[in-house]
Amino acid sequence: MRFENTGVLITGAGSGIGRAASLAFAEEGAAVAAAALQLESAQATASAVEASGGKAVGLQVDVTQPDSARALVERAVAGLGSLDVLINSAGVREIVPFLELPAAEWLKVIGTNLTGTFLCSQAVARHLIAQHKSGKIINLASVAGLVGVPNRAAYVASKHGVVGLTKEMGMELADKHIQVNAIAPGVVETAMTAGYFDNPAIVASLKKAHPAGRWAQPEEIARLMLFLASEDADFMTGATIPIDGGFVAGKAI
């Protein structure tokens, strides 16, 4: 197993990609700190990891708050014994036309997706450096961090910010042996996107938007996270990798 004696902290672990990542890393031998805004969902993921034979703790965090992010790292280290990998998977999005987007909604999306990634990454990087340890940070961007998507101004801005932050962190932390990369999924079937699949017109549109003719499952995104967290990716940093069935490669006309 690739991640024995490895501590992995995953935000947004209560559902979707974060939950799939928690189970995938545990299956590869990692001890997992599953963190979410709602403690109950974090603990449910931790229980699922333990039921599969892994080691996990469930932790509450508000990634938008500096004190909460710092405390999360301290509790993850206490619960796991070590911390080597951070997965920034916490995220929210809006579906509102730009001209109608309330400022409060803008601040919520930017705060969770971009500020949360910054705060958790900074706290983990500071811990790794203080411990003279190498490590990996993996950010969840999106195809919306590479191209525009209608009615998602805050989400698109936040994910473009994650792509830029990944480059900056990758550059600044490289000589400290901390690799930072991002993943840019297309549409993934999660609780956030569940409403899409009840509408045949949206389903047809999604299939057309992805040249592969389908959307992704959370487990497919988790497998790319496993690679980026492994020693096979030790010379990769500052990169954003689309995993999108061809979404950003081009569009049919």
Summarize pLDDT for 166-198 with one digit per residue, the tens.
999 999 999 999 999 999 999 898 877 767 777
For residue 122, being part of any structural domain is answered with: yes
pLDDT at position 191: 78
The answer to whether residue 248 sits within a structural domain is: no
pLDDT of 238 above 80: yes
pLDDT of residue 214: 87
User: Domain residues for 230?
Assistant: 7-241
Q: Are 143 and 248 in contact (CB under 8 A)?
A: yes
CATH code for the domain of 191: 3.40.50.720
Does some domain include residue 91? Answer: yes
Overall domain count for the chain: 1
Q: Is residue 215 part of a domain?
A: yes
Report the candidate in 123, 137, 229 with the shortest Cα–Cα distance to residue 174: 137
Residue 250 belongs to a domain: no
**Percent of the chain residues topping a pLDDT of 90:** 86
Q: Average pLDDT in the 71-86 region?
A: 97
Mean pLDDT of the chain: 95
Strands 55-60 and 85-88, how do they pair?
unpaired
| 104 within domain boundaries | yes
In a domain, 192, yes or no: yes
Decide if 95 contacts 19 (C-beta within 8 A).
Answer: no
The pLDDT, as a whole number, for residue 124 is 98
pLDDT value at residue 194: 66
Q: Which residues carry out catalysis? A: 155
Q: What's the pTM?
A: 0.95
Query: In this structure, is residue 252 part of a structural domain?
Result: no
Residue 104 has pLDDT above 80, yes or no: yes
